[in-house]
Structure 1
Amino acid sequence: MATWGGIADDFTGATDLAGNWVARGLRTVVTLGVPDAADRARLAEADAVVVALKSRTAPVEEAVRDSLAALEALRALGCVRFYQKYCSTFDSTPAGNIGPVADALLAALDTGLAVVVPSFPATGRSVYRGHLFVGDRLLSDSSMRHHPLTPMTSSDVPGLLRPQTAHRVASVPLPVVRAGAPALRAELDRLRRPGARVLAVVDAVEEDDLAVIARATADHPLVTGGSGLALGLPADGAPAHAAMPVEDGHPLILAGSASTATQGQIAHARRAGVPARKLDLDALRADPEGAVDALVAEVTAHWADAPRAPFLIHAVENRDDIRRDDPADGPPAGELVERALADCARRLAAAGARRLIVAGGETSGSVVRALGIRRLELGPSLGPGVSWAHGVAGDGRAYNLALKSGNFGAPEIFTDGWHALA
């Protein structure tokens, strides 16, 4: 019976959290969408279950509704501790969705406090005096300032959260964390108020800080954060992923992310000679079906000559692509990209694609839904926040998938990530 239940606001975040729980020895399964009764019967052996939602930029009401449905399903599985997973760069707008979902979960669990821990030091994310850093830069000075959907122009996590929540937002500074778990637990208890709720932003700069926070919150029904806090759990044996089936099929890379990290990975792949095609937004606006037809024809022709060689389809190359204005009388660029990459995934799967690296949370959600996959079993890690996984679609086709947050992964992941499947 599962102890931990995760509610992730995108598909890459779900595999990110699951990978960290696997690393701590928990048998973990990801469900793509809220599991139904049939799904739940297949999850009985897991120690932890993560529900992957596509709610990061959804309307607030939809994000809250889906998160509460996920909570109900996880409780039915026997979960007693819950983890609201959002991006370690706190991707959101003043309207949500991190705060509204946290408020709803606090109410549903009838608990008075939850910690807020975006830190993930292994990927360069840390919080000091309530300010979120990406490497040695404040979040507001990082490439996230230019994110097309959730531009992060402030680094003050309590300040970002206050407009999103109906509850008090408190800060717990690093010296309290460094004083140890009993001191941190006492401070969190001090922040509680009868009949009120509070979200406590806790500083963390190193992985040892996460271990302190994990110990101090060991009896909390709800924690919230990036996936880093999961690494603070005490290890329970060796990593718990089973031997992952490796599928025999064509390799494909679909990159919808506009992040600086993904841009670097695209550039590295191109320099290494990986055949690539950038999506043509004008062609997609004029004739979306014809544009996808052309992409599919080019990729299948490549595989006819080199069936084991990956092909890369990507949305952006540089910041100029991100800043491109959307027209007033047509779908926005992001919608075109997600639709085109989902169509490519579905049609190229029919042509034999079975190994996919997908970059971007929104892209991953669109692609996995297009393939009809409902559940993922985690496989080998490709680095902090990224793992291979195995999934079977409703039509019986099986896939190996690496769902990569746009901000994560080494520069060579598109060229070298395949080696883990050898």
Structure 2
Amino acid sequence: MSLRLGCIADDYTGATDLGAMLARAGMRVLLVFGDPAEPLAPEGYDAAIIALKSRSIPPGDAVAQSLSALASLQAAGAQRFFFKYCSTFDSTPEGNIGPVAEALADELDVRRVAFCPAFPENGRTVYNGCLFVHGKPLNESGMEEHPLNPMTDANLVRWLGRQTEREVAILSYDALDDGAPTIGFDSFYVADALKDAHLKNLAAEIAKDRLSTGGSAIGYWLARALLQGDEREASVGLGEFDGRCAVLAGSCSTATQRQVAAMRAASPAMRVDPLALASGDQTVEMILAWAAAQPQDTPFMIHSTADPEGVALAHERLGRERACELIERTLGRVAAGLIDTGVRKLIVAGGETSGAVLRELRIDAVRIGPEIEPGVPWVASLGKPRLALALKSGNFGSDDFFSRALEQLA
């Protein structure tokens, strides 16, 4: 079996999000974290996803990593490619969505490329080229306060135009109302999408293209289009997992703030403070000692999540890079300590945090399991000890996401 789709994701939680949607469509999915040192073994899979941590690094580094991932996917036999980024288009005026997409398009010698972050099922819609989150313009949704990629403009045509030298057009929603659209331009374009029918119709057209980009929702419909005539049901069971349950939250998004508040009201919780870490008043050993003291049969949470004022204070006193590095390194080491003490079901909130945890645990590939909520699955590690992981984008999930996730594997 040859790969029908080769995917590059700009962060780890986004990769699991895409994996869940491709599996929902019926594809057999291989998900690898980091550009593989050895050739991919795609036998038995319809799609391969290479998950990078390229969203918030210098644009030149993101381009280099993405081109290396593209080469790995081409060597594995992929002919069509998908560049996955967040449904909130997380980036800065410098990148990295535009520079990476432009480099991939140049390498594949393509001119027309779709950009479709819309995810109507999760409240993300694009209208007249502007991105809305549950009806609010992106720059009024809380994403304008993102500590790494503050989104201060909802107009994706204008935002993407700052990141690339390519012309950026709009494919209007009304062109997607009645079947596959006729696309009369040969450039980058932002596709409107107000409902799943728009995504389905767009996918019928871009399934012919060598390169497309977007969120996981268009990935689902693209998979459906590529599987047309070969319909399957997803196989997503993971089996049973023994051991303790824990939540690690590093995201400071508004969604994660609400989820942390809900979990704190029902379960033991400890906050990791970057200022206390820097001063030595809080250490990994202290955090793990607290975790060990919690009842064995009770889920607990360790989080660095803070409101915008708390984030600003840490950045002011430590600098943004040092504050973020302290949190990532600490939560990664805490995750390793928790596994050593018997945690086998672990929820991680935040893309950067998920990357740090996977790196510390040396997990380089997973099997996609059942969706907890749209775009967020449980996954199972392939090595030992066998772990159930939920890697959640900071922006995703209902307020009671953590408890719902744990109930699913109870």
Measure the CA separation in 2 of the matches of 1:278 and 1:139: 29
**TM-score, normalization by structure 2:** 0.94
Q: Which secondary structure state, in structure 2, belongs to the residue aligned with residue 345 of structure 1?
A: helix
Cα distance, 1:242 vs structure 2: 4.2
Counterpart of 1:56 in 2: which secondary structure?
coil
Q: Which amino acid aligns with 1:293?
A: E
| Superposition pairs of residues 20-419 of structure 1, within 5 angstroms | 20-37=21-38, 40-41=40-41, 43-181=42-180, 184=181, 186-187=182-183, 190-192=184-186, 198-233=187-222, 234=224, 237-272=231-266, 274-287=267-280, 291-302=283-294, 306-327=295-316, 332-393=322-383, 396-419=384-407
Which SS does the other structure have where 1:323 is aligned? helix
AA aligned to 2:261 is A
Any stretches of 5+ residues in structure 2 without a counterpart? none
| Corresponding residue for residue 195 of structure 1 | none
Q: How much has 1:179 moved relative to structure 2?
A: 3.7
Give the conservation status (yes or no) of the 8 Å contact 2:55–2:96: yes
- Which whole-Å deviations, capped at 9, do the CAs of 1:245-296 have from their partners, x for residues lacking one? 4332221110001111111111111122x110011222200128x5111000
CA distance in 2, matches of 1:116, 1:416: 32
Inter-partner Cα distance in structure 1 for 2:136 and 2:292: 42
Whole-angstrom distance in 1 between the partners of 2:325 and 2:318: 13
Q: Distance in 1 between matches of 2:260 and 2:316?
A: 26
Change over 3 Å in CA distance of 1:239–1:409 after alignment to 2: farther
**Distance across 2 between alignment mates of 1:164 and 1:357:** 33
CA distance in 2: counterparts of 1:120 and 1:278, whole angstroms? 32
Residues 245, 390 of structure 1: 8 Å contact kept: no
Deviations, residues 122-148 of structure 1 (Å, cap 9, x unaligned): 110010000000011000111101111
Q: Secondary structure at the match of 2:293?
A: helix
Tell me which amino acid in the other structure corresponds to 2:369.
Answer: G
Change (3 A) 1:30 1:283: same
Secondary structure of the equivalent of 1:247?
coil
SS at the partner of 1:326? helix
Partner Cα separation in structure 1 for residue 339 and residue 260 of structure 2: 22
| Partner amino acid, structure 1, of 2:171 | V
Distance of aligned partners of 1:421 and 1:329 in 2 relative to their CA distance in 1, 3 Å threshold? closer
Q: Percent identity at matched positions?
A: 41
Residue 403 (structure 1) shift: 0.3
Question: In the aligned structure 1, how far is the partner of 2:233 from the partner of 2:93?
Answer: 38
Report deviation, 1:348. 1.5
User: Match of 2:290, SS?
Assistant: helix
Provide the aligned length of Structure 1 versus Structure 2.
Answer: 403
Q: Post-superposition shift, 1:339?
A: 1.2
User: Is the 8 Å Cα contact of residues 139 and 154 (structure 2) preserved in structure 1?
Assistant: yes
Within 1, Cα distance between the matches of 2:171 and 2:221? 17
Q: Give runs of ≥4 in structure 1 deviating > 6 Å.
A: none
Mark the CA change 1:74 to 1:203 in structure 2 (over 3 Å): closer, same or farther. Answer: same
Following TM superposition, by how much is the alpha carbon of 1:10 offset from its aligned partner in structure 2, in angstroms?
0.4
TM-score (norm 1): 0.92
Does the 8 Å CA contact 1:208/1:232 hold for their aligned counterparts?
no
CA offsets 1:61-85 (integer angstroms, 9 cap, x no match): 1111111111111111111111100
Local SS of the residue matching 2:365: strand
- What are the superposed Cα offsets for residues 75-118 of structure 1, whole Å, 9 maximum, x if unpaired? 11111111100011111001100000000110111111110001
- Contact 1:23/1:238 (8 A) holds in 2: no
CA distance in 2, matches of 1:179, 1:23: 25
1:117–1:224 contact (8 Å) kept in structure 2: yes
Q: Which runs of 5+ in 1 are unaligned?
A: 193-197
- 1:383-415 CA distance string (max 9 Å, x none): 11100000134xx32211000011111211212
Aligned counterparts of 1:46 and 1:307: Cα–Cα separation in 2: 38
